[in-house]
Structure 1
Amino acid sequence: MDLQLKNKVVIVTGGAKGIGEGIVRLLAKEGAIPVIIGRKEEDNLKVADDLKAQGFEVFQVVAELTNPDDCEKAVDAVIARYGRIEGLINNAGVNDSIGLEKGNYDDFMRSLHRNVVHYYLMAKYALPELKKSKGNIVNIGSKVADTGQGNTSAYAAANGGRNALTREWAVELLPYGIRVNAVIVAECWTPLYEMYIKTLPNPEQKLKDIVKNIPLGKRMTTAAEIANMVVFLLSEVSSHTTGQLIHVDGGYTHLDRVIE
């Protein structure tokens, strides 16, 4: 299927690892020009250089997205390079376990900047170009906003915010033909997830306990499966889809856990 993404300039925050990397690689294969936005140049270049060696065009910008000025500078760098932006994928973030009982104001606010404030800022700064191109936005979210997790108040609040912003922007940007959707992730195997599992007591058993509760196939979602949905929603093949929160999670969030 032709997703009509050839030569489309698409920003992917957190595009150097995990889900973001999967999205960047699929965009490149679909003929788009992915722009990796990430805090570490070494990580950005590892993906960018590999794709360039395969003959794909890709750009990278080093930015610390918790710094509002860096968000603006990152968007400006893309415009300076290409003169246009046709898509924005807000993906960067981390479950940093800032809870209620043991958390505090400063950590809570830092987590919001880490996980949702830059979603707003990147969209704000990219909006003039998205209006010109009638480009689209896809936000990556987490099931934590639906299910809760415990000891992660800030991340849960941020993901609730991501969901709300998705629908709010879908309404606000209707006059410009800009579609806004979200892909909600549950248990997806990434390097960051692997690191998290290794910090737990008896990590192999813990992973088995998680996987057995994933209804479809009793396995983790892959980054490629998330990327497939993200790129579809970004493309004009999904031209009448907006304001949707699409769960790509093997049924983890909504199906009854007694399923065998």
Structure 2
Amino acid sequence: MNLNLTDKVFLISGGAKGIGGAISRGLIEEGAIPVIIDPSDKEGKEILDLAPGKSLQVPIRLFSPEQAKECVDLAIQTFGRVDGIVNNAGANDGVGLEHGNPEAYVDSVSKNLFHYYYLAHYALPYLKENKGAIVNISSKTAVTGQGGTSGYTSAKGAQLALTREWAVELLPYQVRVNAILPAEVFTPMYASWIQSFANPEEKLNEINSRIPFGNRMTTPEEIAAMVLFLLSEKASHITGQHLYVDGGYTHLDRSL
């Protein structure tokens, strides 16, 4: 399917590794131009080498309004347009209710949530101009809970609320806003977490056994495929939606 994304410009926070890296690569395959907001040098260079002159890396972790404005301004200066953004960067940092404190909680919510608003705010004039799209990467933890991660789940739940709020606010400009909720996705960060267990292979098999469809994890490329579709005109009448790409993990009986 031709998604008609050629030469369109998309900003992706956390766009060099894991889900973000798969999104950036997918955009290049479709002829689009990814602006990768991520300090990961090695992974970023590997993606840039796929499309010299038609990709860009901003090597920062996006935390402040000033940084978000800088990213948007740089995209405009370099390519002259912004057609969409993918809010993706974040980390499940384990700031819980029992094993946490108010200061750590505020910091966790801030790092996982606020940059979603910052990037959307500064990109909005260009999204309105091009009738663009926003995709927010949330998490199944926003609706299932996980335990021990109050800050992260607060941010992820807020991202779902903002998806609906922005979809309403931006209706007059025909800017579409949707969210994707991954569950278990085998990224490098996930692989590192698995290695923290005494028996990593046993833990991995246990997790896979609880995923109804195929008893396997979702791949980053499967998340990216949905993102690309939502960014494209093929999804021209889809807005305000929370879409689960999770092999049935969230809604199907895991005993299946």
What TM-score, normalized to structure 1? 0.95
Structure 2 counterpart of 1:61: 58
Cα distance in 1, alignment partners of residues 221 and 42 from structure 2? 22
Per the TM alignment, residue 63 of structure 1 is displaced from its structure 2 partner at its CA by 2.2
* Residue 44 of structure 2 is aligned to residue 44 of structure 1: yes
Structure 2 counterpart of 1:199: 196
Cα distance in 2, alignment partners of residues 7 and 219 from structure 1? 35
Structure 1 counterpart of 2:176: 179
The match for 2:228 among 228, 231, 244 is 231
Task: State the SS of the aligned residue for 1:224.
Answer: helix
* Residue 153 of structure 2 is aligned to residue 164 of structure 1: no
* Residue 34 of structure 2 is aligned to residue 34 of structure 1: yes
* Residue 240 of structure 2 is aligned to residue 243 of structure 1: yes
Of 202-211 and 148-157, deviating more is 202-211
Does the 8 Å contact 1:37/1:44 carry over to 2?
no
Given residue 100 of structure 1, which amino acid in structure 2 is its aligned partner? L
Structure 1 counterpart of 2:114: 117
The match for 2:102 among 81, 102, 105 is 105
Cα distance in 1, alignment partners of residues 203 and 42 from structure 2? 32
What TM-score, normalized to structure 2? 0.97
Cα distance in 2, alignment partners of residues 40 and 258 from structure 1? 39
Does the 8 Å contact 2:139/2:181 carry over to 1?
yes
The match for 2:214 among 201, 217, 234 is 217
Structure 2 counterpart of 1:12: 12
- Label 1:169 to 1:137 Cα distance change in 2 as closer, same or farther (>3 A): same
Cα deviations across residues 131-171 of structure 1 (Å, max 9, x unaligned)? 11111000111000011111000000000011111111000
Cα distance in 2, alignment partners of residues 39 and 172 from structure 1? 32
Given residue 180 of structure 2, which amino acid in structure 1 is its aligned partner? V
Per the TM alignment, residue 74 of structure 1 is displaced from its structure 2 partner at its CA by 1.2
Corresponding residue pairs, total: 256
Task: State the SS of the aligned residue for 1:39.
Answer: coil
Given residue 80 of structure 2, which amino acid in structure 1 is its aligned partner? G
Per the TM alignment, residue 42 of structure 1 is displaced from its structure 2 partner at its CA by 4.3
Structure 1 counterpart of 2:82: 85
Identity of aligned residues (%): 54
Structure 2 counterpart of 1:258: 255
Task: State the SS of the aligned residue for 2:115.
Answer: helix
Cα deviations across residues 161-212 of structure 1 (Å, max 9, x unaligned)? 1111111100000000000001110000100000011112322111111100
Given residue 122 of structure 1, which amino acid in structure 2 is its aligned partner? L
Per the TM alignment, residue 72 of structure 1 is displaced from its structure 2 partner at its CA by 1.5
Does the 8 Å contact 1:170/1:180 carry over to 2?
yes
- Structure 1 ranges of 4+ moved more than 2 A: 39-47
Cα distance in 1, alignment partners of residues 66 and 106 from structure 2? 17
Given residue 92 of structure 1, which amino acid in structure 2 is its aligned partner? A
Task: State the SS of the aligned residue for 1:189.
Answer: coil
Task: State the SS of the aligned residue for 1:247.
Answer: strand
Cα distance in 2, alignment partners of residues 194 and 56 from structure 1? 32
Question: Which runs of no fewer than 5 residues in structure 1 stay unpaired?
Answer: none
Cα distance in 1, alignment partners of residues 65 and 192 from structure 2? 28
Does the 8 Å contact 2:64/2:118 carry over to 1?
no
Per the TM alignment, residue 56 of structure 1 is displaced from its structure 2 partner at its CA by 7.3
Does the 8 Å contact 1:38/1:63 carry over to 2?
yes
Per the TM alignment, residue 46 of structure 1 is displaced from its structure 2 partner at its CA by 3.1
Per the TM alignment, residue 64 of structure 1 is displaced from its structure 2 partner at its CA by 2.5
